[in-house]
């Protein structure tokens, strides 16, 4: 039974509308459905009916202990087509006060950020498969995004990214 990919994620947040505003304004998601305590969003280049569901559970909700005192999800990773897109997201995340890190994993170039409830997510660009050689090290080191743009080009489309307007394989 093959799995094609992750269709959507659902998060419990304190205030669904506040979180939806963040994902719209910072990451460019579109609101598809809004209910009193839930909002369903679609990623900018997605053809899913929704990519992110947000369920508001109230301001009294505590922070997730996952990774500190409990098992749980560490983060979601949103993929961007080009390094220029990653650079744009770095600016937007920094302006929103959400950017918490940036890593070069060899095969991926990643930004890490937190939403208004402190839930971490990643925005990443994947090195095209044809440019990954035996010498490519899977690692974690600081990301020098300007150097990566110099190396690969700002507009090179990364691996696994589909061209807008085409169907997924």
Burial of 19 (0-12, 13-18, 19+ CB in 10 A): buried
* pLDDT at site 130: 92
In the chain, DSSP finds a helix count (H) and a strand count (E) of 3, 9
pLDDT band at 165 (very low <50, low <70, confident <90, very high): low
What pLDDT, on the 0 to 100 scale, is given for residue 6? 85
Instruction: Copy the structure tokens of residue 124.
Output: 């990443």
Task: Output the CA–CA distances (angstroms, integers) from residue 41 to 22, 48, 117, 138, 159, in the order listed.
Answer: 11, 10, 17, 32, 24
Domain layout of the chain by residue ranges: 7-58, 74-160
Matching fold, domains 7-58 and 74-160: no
At what angle are helices 145-152 and 83-95 packed, to 10 degrees? Answer: 160
CATH code given to domain 74-160: 3.30.720.110
What is the second-level CATH architecture of the domain 7-58? Roll (3.10)
Q: What is the pTM of this model?
A: 0.90
81-119 per-position pLDDT tens digit = 999 999 999 999 999 999 999 999 999 999 999 999 999
**Residues paired with 157 in a beta bridge:** none
């Amino acid at each position: 039974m093959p799995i094609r990919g992750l269709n959507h994620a659902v998060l419990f947040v304190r205030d669904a509308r506040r979180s939806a505003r963040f994902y719209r304004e910072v990451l460019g998601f579109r609101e598809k459905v809004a209910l009193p305590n839930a909002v369903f969003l679609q990623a900018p280049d997605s053809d899913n009916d929704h990519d992110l569901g947000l369920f508001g559970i109230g301001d009294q909700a505590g922070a997730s202990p996952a990774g500190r005192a409990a098992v749980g999800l560490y983060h979601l990773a949103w993929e961007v087509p080009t390094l220029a897109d990653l650079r744009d997201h770095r600016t937007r995340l920094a302006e929103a006060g959400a950017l918490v890190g940036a890593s070069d994993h060899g095969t991926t170039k990643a930004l890490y950020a937190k939403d208004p409830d402190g839930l971490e997510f990643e925005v990443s660009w994947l090195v095209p498969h044809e440019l990954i050689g035996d010498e490519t090290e899977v690692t974690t080191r600081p990301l020098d995004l300007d150097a990566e743009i110099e190396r690969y080009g700002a507009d090179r489309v990364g691996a696994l990214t589909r061209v807008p307007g085409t169907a997924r394989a």
